[in-house]
């Protein structure tokens, strides 16, 4: 893979952020009314500067971890297990939000173009989510074309609009006439305060999400990978910065502001911008289509990353092992299920409105950034001491900048939703810890360095519940005779039916067994005044175990196996219930054996 394929494959997520980041900031400025457009520029400049710092930091990471340096890996290797897990928790949250925000922003673009769909926002979000989940469960051959075409179309459309818009603006002394006028900015209800601007900046920072992808995928590049990866990252950052700058400039020129999110009349900033510059013709719908496609594909990257990270964490023992095993189509199905469930939950809770998801997204992303950069600082300290001071400084600035941003975002967005991350991330860490402890305890409990213990290998006592004498019960009894010499047949007797089994026992069982020189199975009858069937058997099993503490007790349950599903309705579940009860209430000395009887058709 060269930079030309790398930009869409690894940059799609970062570039897609341009579709919601600036709007997220502008939504906070709505209360300022017409004054709001004046603040977009400064905020964008700060975000672009921060983006540049982050860029320099990740260039370093690419060089240092050419085999792939995700935040989890970098934090774990350099800072230790706990910071690694913290990064893992942040990343998992981040991936869930990549999915939720990608879809909700895509649907936001869609309902901007087709306002009649606005009331169905949430349903559209869930529909797209399940579609993406289905595609991923079926297993996708990662085909580049699916990424390349929409990404370049997206970049082409937006750049075309930006260039035309800027030219128009310059030709009209900065006061271009919009082709389709954007909705009027609402009346000001507040004045600009530092607090409000900090909040807008915090939301706008989501424009930077996704830039770490290149550092994860260095191995995918052709020789020389590090150089190609760095070129790709540079290209992505330049394009993204240009998009952010262009959007900021034109928003001011055309006096475009955000509209109330999640309300009728909502129209995304990009939709307003494209319509203002080129009108609502073919090119408008092409652009909206490209935006929707890129955002949906960016959600799809969450479906690649989340299960993969879950798998690594599970392999380290901090998540249930099922996350590390592939399903039937060689995909990590459990991770896909979990991700679908969590993003659906977020979409439902927040009504499919991007703006409400932004605070969570920003915190998760910047926590991962900060830990990754801090890990890099430690990396340079370890590998080179003084020699790498320069590198250390770059990553140190990156860590400091993203760390400060994290604190700003967390404080500014606390009441708007960041508090949820303050609960979720410790909760995830607790789950990681509990899972690890459990596996560790089990491992210790069952680990065994000693060779096979051959003491006390007496045949087990075999208990065979029998209702009547038939081929099924004969099969059970024959099996018992194959494995032991100590056999007790138990029959539960309710009511006063004829005692046929007892009467015929000497002829049916005792005589043939004696003739063949086999031990004679005993028949024990258990009275059951209340017509319970299972309890008397279970009681007898426990009683036998208590009387023979040094013996293994085997309960041999003959069971009818039906071939057709509806036959299951016709046979009572007693065998299954007996097995389940014995397993549940049993102990190390009790073993249940199922002797199946297969119906012939």
Element (H, E) at 555: strand 553-561
Q: How many CA atoms lie within 13 A of 354 on its CB side?
A: 38
Residue 287 · residue 310 · CB < 8 Å:
no
**In the set 142, 223, 445, 496, which binds a copy of itself (CB under 8 A)?**
445
Residue 8 or 586: which CB sits closer to a copy of itself? Answer: 586
Number of residues counted as binding a copy of itself (CB under 8 A): 69
Compose the 503-542 pattern: x for residues touching a copy of itself by CB under 8 A, - for all others: ----xxx-xxx-xx-x------------x-----------
Residue 449 · residue 568 · CB < 8 Å:
no
Local structure of residue 495 (DSSP, 8 states): T
Residue 173 or 550: which CB sits closer to a copy of itself? Answer: 550
**In the set 552, 553, 575, 578, which binds a copy of itself (CB under 8 A)?**
552
Pull the structure tokens for residue 523.
């028949």
Residue in this structure with the two tokens 């990608």, named with its chain if needed: 102
The answer to whether 446 contacts a copy of itself (rule: CB under 8 A) is yes
**In the set 177, 223, 550, 587, which binds a copy of itself (CB under 8 A)?**
587
**In the set 447, 497, 529, 549, which binds a copy of itself (CB under 8 A)?**
447
Residue 138 or 531: which CB sits closer to a copy of itself? Answer: 531
CB of 516 to a copy of itself, least distance (A): 4
Reported residue count of the chain is 601
**In the set 145, 171, 194, 457, which binds a copy of itself (CB under 8 A)?**
457
Residue 187 or 569: which CB sits closer to a copy of itself? Answer: 569
The answer to whether 423 contacts a copy of itself (rule: CB under 8 A) is no
Pull the structure tokens for residue 73.
């890996």
Query: What are the residues facing 525 on neighbouring strands?
Result: 491
Pull the structure tokens for residue 136.
């991923």
Local structure of residue 450 (DSSP, 8 states): S
Residue 493 · residue 499 · CB < 8 Å:
yes
**In the set 8, 359, 398, 586, which binds a copy of itself (CB under 8 A)?**
586
CB of 308 to a copy of itself, least distance (A): 16
**In the set 471, 498, 529, 549, which binds a copy of itself (CB under 8 A)?**
471
Give dist(CA 319, CA 89) in Å, integer: 11
Q: What are phi and psi of 139, to 5 degrees?
A: 90, 115
CB neighbour class for 164 (10 Å; exposed up to 12, middle 13-18, buried from 19): middle
Pull the structure tokens for residue 588.
């190390």
Which listed range, 159-167, 207-215, 292-300, 467-475, lies at the site for a copy of itself (CB under 8 A)?
467-475
Residue 407 or 561: which CB sits closer to a copy of itself? Answer: 561
The answer to whether 459 contacts a copy of itself (rule: CB under 8 A) is yes
Residue 382 or 437: which CB sits closer to a copy of itself? Answer: 437
Pull the structure tokens for residue 407.
């604190």
Residues 6+ apart with CB under 8 A from 552: 460, 461, 589, 590, 591
Residue 111 or 481: which CB sits closer to a copy of itself? Answer: 481
CB of 335 to a copy of itself, least distance (A): 14
Give dist(CA 500, CA 221) in Å, integer: 80
CB atoms within 10 A of CB 186: 15
CB of 504 to a copy of itself, least distance (A): 9
Residue 357 · residue 101 · CB < 8 Å:
yes
Using CB under 8 A, list all residues that contact a copy of itself: 320-322, 325-326, 435, 438-439, 442, 445-448, 451-454, 457-460, 469-475, 477-479, 481-484, 507-509, 511-513, 515-516, 518, 531, 552, 560-561, 567, 569-572, 579, 583, 586-588, 590-600
């Amino acid at each position: 893979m060269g930079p030309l394929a790398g930009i869409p494959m690894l940059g799609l997520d970062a570039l897609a952020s341009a579709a919601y980041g600036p709007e997220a900031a502008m939504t906070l400025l709505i209360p300022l009314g017409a004054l709001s457009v004046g603040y977009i520029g400064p905020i964008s400049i700060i975000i672009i500067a921060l983006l540049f710092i982050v860029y320099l930091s990740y260039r370093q990471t690419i060089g240092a971890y050419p085999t792939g340096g995700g935040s989890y890996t970098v934090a774990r290797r350099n800072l230790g297990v706990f910071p690694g897990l913290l990064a893992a928790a942040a990343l998992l949250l981040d991936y869930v939000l990549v999915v939720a925000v990608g879809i909700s922003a895509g649907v936001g673009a869609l309902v901007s173009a087709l306002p009649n769909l606005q009331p169905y926002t949430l349903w559209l979000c869930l529909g797209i989510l399940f579609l993406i989940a289905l595609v991923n469960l079926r297993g996708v051959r990662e085909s580049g074309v699916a990424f390349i075409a929409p990404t370049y179309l997206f970049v082409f459309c937006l750049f075309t609009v930006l260039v035309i818009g800027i030219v128009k603006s310059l030709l009209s002394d900065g006061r271009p006439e919009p082709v389709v006028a954007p909705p009027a900015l609402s009346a000001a209800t507040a004045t600009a305060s530092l607090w409000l601007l900090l909040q807008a900046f915090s939301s706008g920072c989501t424009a930077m999400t996704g830039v770490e992808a290149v550092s994860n995928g260095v191995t995918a590049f052709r020789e020389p990978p590090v150089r190609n990866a760095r070129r790709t990252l540079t290209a992505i950052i330049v394009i993204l910065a240009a998009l952010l700058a262009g959007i900021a400039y034109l928003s001011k020129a055309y006096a475009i502001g955000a509209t109330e999110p999640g309300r009728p009349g909502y129209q995304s900033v990009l939709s307003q911008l494209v319509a203002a510059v080129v009108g609502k013709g073919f090119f408008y719908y092409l652009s909206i289509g490209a935006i929707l496609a890129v955002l949906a594909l960016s959600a799809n990257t969450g479906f690649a990353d989340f299960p993969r990270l879950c798998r690594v964490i599970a392999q380290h023992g901090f998540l249930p092992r099922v996350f590390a095993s592939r399903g039937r189509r060689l995909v990590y199905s459990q991770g896909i299920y979990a991700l679908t469930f969590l993003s659906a939950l977020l979409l439902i809770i927040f009504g499919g409105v991007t703006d409400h998801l932004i605070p969570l997204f920003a915190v998760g992303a910047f926590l991962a950034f900060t830990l990754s950069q801090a890990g890099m600082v430690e990396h340079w300290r370890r590998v080179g001491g003084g020699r790498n001071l320069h590198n250390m400084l770059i990553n140190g600035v990156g860590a400091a900048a993203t760390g400060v941003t994290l604190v700003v975002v967390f404080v500014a967005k606390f009441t708007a939703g960041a508090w949820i991350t303050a609960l979720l991330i410790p909760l995830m860490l607790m789950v990681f810890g509990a899972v690890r402890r459990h596996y560790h305890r089990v491992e210790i409990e069952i680990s065994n360095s000693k060779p096979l213990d051959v003491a006390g290998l007496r045949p087990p006592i075999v208990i065979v519940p029998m209702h009547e004498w038939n081929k099924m019960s004969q099969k059970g009894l024959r099996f018992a005779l194959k494995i032991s010499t100590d056999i007790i047949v138990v029959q539960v007797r309710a009511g006063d039916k004829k005692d046929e089994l007892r009467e015929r026992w000497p002829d049916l069982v005792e005589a043939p067994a004696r003739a063949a020189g086999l031990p004679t199975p005993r028949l024990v009858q258990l009275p059951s005044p209340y017509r319970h069937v299972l309890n008397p058997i279970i009681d007898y099993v426990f009683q036998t175990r208590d009387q023979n503490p040094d013996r293994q007790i085997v309960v041999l349950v003959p069971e009818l196996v039906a071939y057709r599903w509806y036959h299951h309705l016709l046979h009572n579940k007693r065998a299954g219930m007996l097995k389940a009860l014995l397993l549940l209430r049993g102990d190390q000395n009790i073993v249940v054996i199922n002797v199946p009887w297969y119906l012939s058709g």
